Amino acid sequence: MPAKPLLATLQGVRQEVPPVWLMRQAGRYLPEYRALRAEKGGFLALVNDSAAAAEITLQPIRRFGMDGAILFSDILMVPLALGQDLWFETGEGPRLAPKLVAREVLDGLAPNMAALDPVYGTVRRVKAVLDPAVTFLGFAGSPWTVATYMIAGQGSREQAEARRLAYADSGLMQALVDKITECTIVYLQGQIDAGVEAIQLFDSWAGSLSPAQFEQWVIAPNARIAAAFRGKVPVIGFPKGAGGKLAAYARETGVDAIGLDETVDPAWANAELPEDLPVQGNLDPLALIAGGSTLDSAIDRILAAFAGRPHVFNLGHGIQQDTPIDRVEHLLRRIRG
């Protein structure tokens, strides 16, 4: 086995036993996380407390022995750095103000890149103590997904406000996406300088776009980001909901690996994606909760589909907060034999 199985896989080396990490593995399904959050306060307070965020990043590594540690932070750190106010409403999620609905609002933002310093502090703390065999993953939200929050001021299932703006004022949308892209490149470079070894681009709302908009608002900015880090660290692209547009995303963005959500048939993905491209995924988080034969058959189907290519085992989206610990332990035993 290579010294860092996950990093080697992202670099195109197939492993007999695929490396494993889980999206949102550092978080609220873990009792140790809930205890620390109760002690420290709200989510944003944890993100901005480098010592606490480093501890949370390391918790699933200690408990499960994951092959990758994912930085504990949030995709909305970029809007905060660009000048929007960010806070979290209990039980309702993030809020951003002012909403970006006009050119003068965008032009009036006062960027504060120092807002990202606590994240870099977290990376340095984790890097100093992380097991050398574990790959350290940084991340950022992809520009389209970040833009949907900045425009609506919160998350939304249909992303209607952002999609309307993209049709009604493509110049404003392009200016916003360009600002997010530039800030994201600076942000990710800061994470790399502090110690991360690979990065993931989360495009949680990529599936809401038409093919033409997908090319403009998902593929184009992600290609710029991937190009900025080519030859530096592997880049995992995760365009959730992209479906049949995944092959175009893989070809045109130039990412080093593709994350697949749970709606993608792994056999189809294996046939349609470039032959040697590493893939990541794509167990349904609810199958993990179900356990038993449902879980085993889903794991086995994914392993069989990707047996011939570099594969990182992961979920198709973030782990649910009501996931039993013993299901994760069983998952790891099943994959590792």
Which residues are identified as catalytic?
A: 24, 28, 37, 74, 149
Counting Cβ atoms within 10 Å, is residue 139 exposed (0-12), middle (13-18) or buried (19+)? buried
Are 239 and 204 a contacting pair, CB within 8 Å? no
Are 34 and 46 a contacting pair, CB within 8 Å? no
- Calpha distance 183→202 (Å, rounded): 15
How many Å separate Cα 52 from the centre of its chain? 20
H/E stretch holding 225: helix 220-228
- Calpha distance 163→316 (Å, rounded): 24
Are 140 and 201 a contacting pair, CB within 8 Å? yes
User: Quick check: helix, strand or coil at residue 220?
Assistant: helix
Q: Which residues of 300-336 are buried (b: 16+ CB within 10 A; e: fewer)?
A: eebbebbeebbbbbbbbbbbeeebeeebbebbeeebe
Nearest to 148 by CA among 109, 187, 96: 96
Residue 234 to residues 60, 138, 151, 201, 276, Cα–Cα distance (Å): 22, 11, 30, 11, 14
Residue 109 to residues 67, 102, 206, 236, Cα–Cα distance (Å): 40, 12, 25, 30
Nearest to 123 by CA among 71, 76, 74: 71
